Chains A and B, each alone.
Chain A
Amino acid sequence: MRKKELKLVVTFHTTADAMAMEKAAKDFGLKGRIIPVPRVISSGCGMSWTSDLLEKEQVLAVMEKAGIDVEELHEVLI
């Protein structure tokens, strides 16, 4: 298994929100990607967005600009 790193993980209420996030990230040049919601955060399945911890401010700014609701924001070892 690969070595774990501390990362920023944003979860969403719906798949549509996750897709909106992926699109907004691309539009604003934000680095990161869609991953399955880590089960340490929730066992409820679904998609989440992960970026480096340093990108936190940018992630939040992009989400605000795109009007995407954050379900939860986490810093987790993944």
Chain B
Amino acid sequence: MIYFDNAATTLYKPQEVMDAVLTSMKSSGNAGRGVNEASLSASRVIYQAREALCDLFNGEDPRQIVFTMNSTHSLNMAMKGLLRTGDHVITTVLEHNSVLRPLYELEQEGIELTILPCDALGRIEYEEIPKEIKKNTKAIVTTHGSNLTGNLLDIHRIGGIAREYGITYIVDASQTAGVYPIDVKASNIDILCFTGHKGLLGPQGTGGMYVRGGLRLKPLLSGGTGVQTFSKEQPAEMPTHLEAGTLNGHGIAGLLAGVEYINKKGMSLIREKEMLLMKRFYEGIKEIEGITFYGDYDTEIRCPIVTFNYKDYDSGEVADELLERYGVVLRAGGHCAPLMHESFGTVEQGALRFSFSHMNEIEEVDKVIQGLKEMTTE
């Protein structure tokens, strides 16, 4: 199998991540539910993971890192915890359904929504953002990197606009956390939502968010916390305010190991390898007649993703042939990005998305280039 679906989840995890999960499963009790060594060891690992993630994103305080199941969970907590009837929100067509569906749901409850369009290459016009800001604009929600095209948004620039107008900025870093440096302070990001199982190389079922100190969100869940048991309300202090129920301690141990692996290996080295593979693949197939790419490939500041269609073939059909003949795993279809497909006119056809990991090899890329050349000349 040649696995090129790393934008969905990274399949090849560092050995350290697997070891950390196993160790945790053998030794961790329930974090924050007692002071025996089993419980304390879980609490310590979780706190260490808060520190590591806070450092990674240059946050102010590890206690502002909240653990969740994934980005979808974090984004729901951010938007539903912040927005109230009458608020206005600005987002983009680049967004994944994890941003769009909660916003559509909130729209039914009386929030106003503005969705910025993109051009033919999937880029937004930043100058349009201030023009859309109104008196009741409460938040801007954008992805850092499109999961369909791999295009990056300039979150630093958008954060600057949000700060200028006193608006909360929520960023979906699903595709970029662990691959691109993110500085929540310098870029004026109020809430950063991330998942653990993609670029951070951790287990599925891990994720989280960084919430700027002083920003209050209404909790999505309330329940057991191991503290303030007889209070009828969820504790007001972070991170407990947003963490009800037993945390995924075993998974978080793996996530911590993933972050440590990235720090040790170097995020830039990881990214360079992924970009090398992406570029080699793009260059290798761009001359094939009948290919239409989606995204901006003139820039090297992008996610390691290449997305295209071949003539008017159903993307699922092409993906199936690639799997059957060459054992290539990629993603066809809509990629949970409905507005991007509407923009590109690919609702019916879907698209073929290849996404790379630094653990992929050049030879794998070359095999797929060769396969595509064979398929398209028959």
Contact = CB atoms under 8 A, between A and B. Distances in A.
Residue of A12, A15, A36 contacting most chain B CB atoms (<10 Å): A15
B44 A14 contact: no
B62 A15 contact: no
Interface of A is mostly: mixed
A16 B35 contact: no
Contacts of B81: none
Interface residues of A, number: 21
A44 to B, nearest CB: 5
A69 B46 CA distance: 19
Interface stretch (B145-153, B223-231, B280-288, B300-308): B223-231
Contacts of A36: 34-35
A73 interface: no
A22 B31 contact: no
A14 B238 contact: yes
A14 B47 contact: no
Interface string A1-28: 0000000000011111111101100000
B373 interface: no
Contacts of B235: 13-14
B47 A23 contact: yes
A69 B236 CA distance: 13
B61 interface: yes
Residue of A19, A23, A36 contacting most chain B CB atoms (<10 Å): A19
Nearest to A46: B227
Interface string B48-71: 001000000000011100000000
A34 to B, nearest CB: 5
Given A16-B63, A20-B63, A43-B229, 5 more contacts: A17-B237, A22-B44, A34-B40, A46-B32, A67-B61
Interface of A: 12-20, 22-23, 34-36, 43-47, 67, 69
